Structure formats: C-alpha cells, structure tokens
Structure 1
Amino acid sequence: MSQPSSSAGSEISIQHFNVDPGSSFEFLLIGISYALSAGLQPGPLQAFFLAKVSAGGWRRALPAAFAPLISDGPIALVSILLLRALPSSFRSWLQLAGGVLLLIFAWSAFRNSRREQPPPADDPSSTPKTIGQAALINLLNPNPYLGWSLVMGPAVISAWEVGPGMALALLFSFYVTMISISLLLIYLMGQALLIGPGARRTLSLISGTLLVGLGLYFLAQASTALLKISL
C-alpha cells in the first residue's frame, strides 16, 4: 500500500530517477501511476470496502477510503528513516527488487482478470465499523510495507533531494489518486453491490498494465544507477 544527504549521494539519487530538477512531472506520474495500480489491486482493504458496502451501503463505507492517511504514517516514517541511513547503492538494489515486485503484482492482476467471480465478502456481522479499524486492517496488510520500502520510499527520498516541493507533489498525487480510486470503487460496489465480471476484468487489466509499466521503469532506473556506481 516509505527513503545521504551528501552531494555525491544526492547526485546518484537524482540520476537514479533521471529527473529534471526543474520539473515535478515525473514524480507526479510515479505517484499517480502507483496509486492507480495499488488502488485497483484486490487486497484486504478492498475486501473490507466490499464487506462494509454489503453491511451498510456505500455511503457508510466512504470514510474507509481515507484509512491509508492514518495507517501509512508510521509505515512511511520507518521506511524513509531506514532508507536514508543506507548507502545509495543499497537503495538502488531495493528499487531493483521493487521493480520485480511490481511485475509480480502485475502477473497477479492479469491472473485476477481471468476469474469469473469476485471473492466472497466477509460476514457482515463481523464487518469493521470505523475508519480506525479500516486503518488497522491496512496496518496488518504486508503490501504497504513492501510498497513503501521498495517503491514509494526510494521515490520520496529522490524527490526530496531534488527539492521538498517535489516530495510533497509526489505524496499529494499518490494520496489524492489513491483516495479517489477507493471512493470510486466503493461507489461502484454500492451501485451493483458487487462489481460485474466485465468491469472487474477491465479494472484488473488496467491495474496490470500500469504495474508492468512501473515495474519496467524501476528496473531500468535501478540498473542504470547501479551501472554508474560500478564504473
């Protein structure tokens, strides 16, 4: 579902993402693309949305879309602090692993697109009732830890080294997109209770395509950075 302050380290990090210091477009694109792919992926939080909609309707489920704003804080802080203490080459290896992880998620998304039926909803009687409980579900989900350690964390650090405004733009684009996608999913679930097979397949295909693009991008950037470090 998060990171060397020396001149040399900063230069490597900027090259790591091939970012023009005068433009935030690339970081905005990273935030939006990763949020879209993560938001469309089936997972514990999306299963909670479905259970909440089934139990009380889509309007009562809407606050759950904001759960990542609560749960991601400690995850992001720990990830960024740890990553900043590590050498730049280690972060490049982490991003390489992140690219592989994104491709694995893409394979999972394409596999889900072939399924005929959505997974069964949780028993409504045990559906969590508050946004705090939704945040707890996200805290217990391994995906945000992997995402912040391998994808968002290195991206935020590189953005911050270009300029604090870049990092803020990246985070803003990520969370606005993630929350918007979650709100849309909750609404769609409410309209038909369960999203039809055709719509689910389309969402999974979109998610998989975005994940493939991001995965290949991260693999290319990390490989380039590691080659420059080794020379």
Structure 2
Amino acid sequence: MMWIYLLQGVGFGLAAASQPGPFQTYLISQSLSNGWRRTLPAALAPLISDGPIIALCLLVLSQVPAWMEQALYGVSGMFILYLAHGTYRSWRSGGATEPEASSTRQSVWKAALMNALSPGPYIFWTLVTGPILVTGWREAPLYGAGFLGGFYLTIVCALAGIIAVFGLAARLGPKVHHAMLGISALVLFIFGLFQISKALR
C-alpha cells in the first residue's frame, strides 16, 4: 500500500509543477533575469509556504469559503502585478543588470510569498490532495509521509528543471533572452489582472 501513496504523491507533484500559472512564470522570469544558478533555490519555495497551508486546510477548513478565495485572488493579483513590474524593469534595462548578492534569498522568499497568497494551493490541498493525505495518514502515518515525500520531491525537482531549462535557453543570445524576459513580464501582468478580475466577480 505504501507504494500506492508514493506514486500518487509523485503524480500530483508533477501535475502541480507542470500546470502553467503565475508561480511558474515568476520562476522563469527570475531565471532569465538572475540566471538559473541563483534562481534554483526558489524551487524550494513550496517547502516554505505549504506547511501552514496544509495545516490550515486539514485542521480548519472543510471547504474554502468564497470570501476567503476572493480575498486571496485580489491580494495575489496585486502581488503578481508588483512582480510583473520588476520583470518589466529588467526587460527595459536589457536584462543585463548584475544581480545583487541578496537576490537569491529574496527570490526564494518572494516565490514562497507568491505561493502562499495564491488560492491554488488552498484549493488543491482542501479538495484534491488533502483527502488523500488524511486517508493515508489514518491507515498508517508512514503512508501519509510517503505521499508527502513523493509529492514534494517531485515538485521541487520539476520546478528546478523548469528553472534550468529557461536559464540555459537564455544563453541563445541577447535578442532571445530579451524577448523571453518581455514575454515573462507580459504573462505575469496578464495573470495579475486575471486574479484581480476573479476577486471582483
């Protein structure tokens, strides 16, 4: 039975990492701006932000209240627009600015904050993975731990792969790098507006 929960964790971890969204776009923009080596630690952001989210979803929420979901969309949208502005500034400067020494640490915490403000993890852990985790834990704590281990090992490795791929792609030339950075800024801007529009519905 242990392997069933482990495989489910791997499958859902891969699905969560590969689903296009503002978090993945932010990692791509950071990889283009600061290089994949400096951005790589940001792949650990879910390990920082998801603990309180899981606890909240499993211990407090039976379902995500509508008002909370709307509030999260609004705050998330504004934060994404702030990140889009930073990426746009990097694009205007040609993406050739030297990253600051503290940029790696800031990148990790910004990524963790974005994940914590996004409604996605709350809905995911309440409606999808939360019930699996609870069921496995009730059968045996080792099963629940196996599910979590498979999930986070997969999502961190997949996010690291995304960072590395786009970081290396930026070496194709300054024009390609500049274009990709501009696209990242635009996509982040669109995601921000989309989140805010959901909050206003």
Instruction: Give the TM-score normalised by the residue count of structure 2.
Output: 0.63
The residue that corresponds to 1:122 in the other structure is 87
Q: Deviations over 1:179-198 (max 9, x none)?
A: 0000111110111139x9xx
Match of 2:40 in 1: 62
Q: State the Cα deviation string for residues 168-218 of structure 1 (Å, max 9, x = none).
A: 000000000000000111110111139x9xxxxxxxxxxxxxxxxxxxxxx
Which residue identity does 2:143 align to in structure 1?
M
Higher helix proportion, which one?
Answer: 2
Residue 152 of structure 1: CA displacement?
Answer: 1.3
Identity %: 37
Contact kept? 2:30, 2:107, Cα under 8 Å = no
How far the C-alpha of 1:140 sits from its partner, in A, is: 1.3
- Counterpart of 1:160 in structure 2 is 137
Alignment match of 1:183 (pick from 160, 163, 176) = 160
State how far apart, in whole Å, the 1-side matches of 2:131 and 2:54 are. 11
Q: What's the CA shift for 1:124?
A: 5.2
Is there any run of 5+ residues in structure 1 with no aligned partner, and where?
Answer: 1-22, 95-120, 197-231
Q: Deviations over 1:25-56 (max 9, x none)?
A: 22112111111111011111111111111111
Structure 2 residues not aligned, in runs of 5+:
65-85, 92-98, 177-201
TM-score after normalising by structure 1: 0.55
Amino acid at match of 1:123: Y
Instruction: Please say if residues 43 and 156 of structure 2, whose CA atoms lie closer than 8 Å, have aligned partners that are also in contact.
Output: yes
Alpha-carbon deviations, 1:123-150, whole Å to 9, x = none? 2549973311110011111111111001
How far, CA to CA, are the matches of 1:29 and 1:49 in structure 2?
A: 26
Name 1:34's counterpart in structure 2: 12
Which amino acid in 2 is paired with 1:56? N
| SS of residue paired to 1:42 | coil
Q: Please identify runs of 4+ aligned residues in structure 1 that moved more than 3 A.
A: 124-129
The one-letter code matched in structure 2 to 1:65 is A
Q: CA RMSD in A?
A: 2.7
Aligned residue-pair number: 140
Contact kept, 8 Å, 1:51 with 1:123, in 2: the verdict is no
One-letter code of the match for 1:73?
A: G
Which residue identity does 1:71 align to in structure 2? S
Aligned CA distance change for structure 1 residues 144 and 124 (closer, same or farther; 3 Å): farther
User: Which whole-Å CA distance do the structure 1 matches of 2:43 and 2:89 have between them?
Assistant: 18
Number of the residue aligned with 1:228: none
Give yes or no for contact 1:71–1:139 (8 Å, CA) kept in 2.
yes
SS in 1 for 2:154: helix
Q: 2:111 aligns with which of 134, 158, 167?
A: 134
Look up the equivalent residue of 1:61 and give its one-letter code: T
Deviations 1:80-108 (A, max 9, x none): 1136xx6xxxx9xx9xxxxxxxxxxxxxx
Contact 1:47 1:122 in 2 (8 A): no
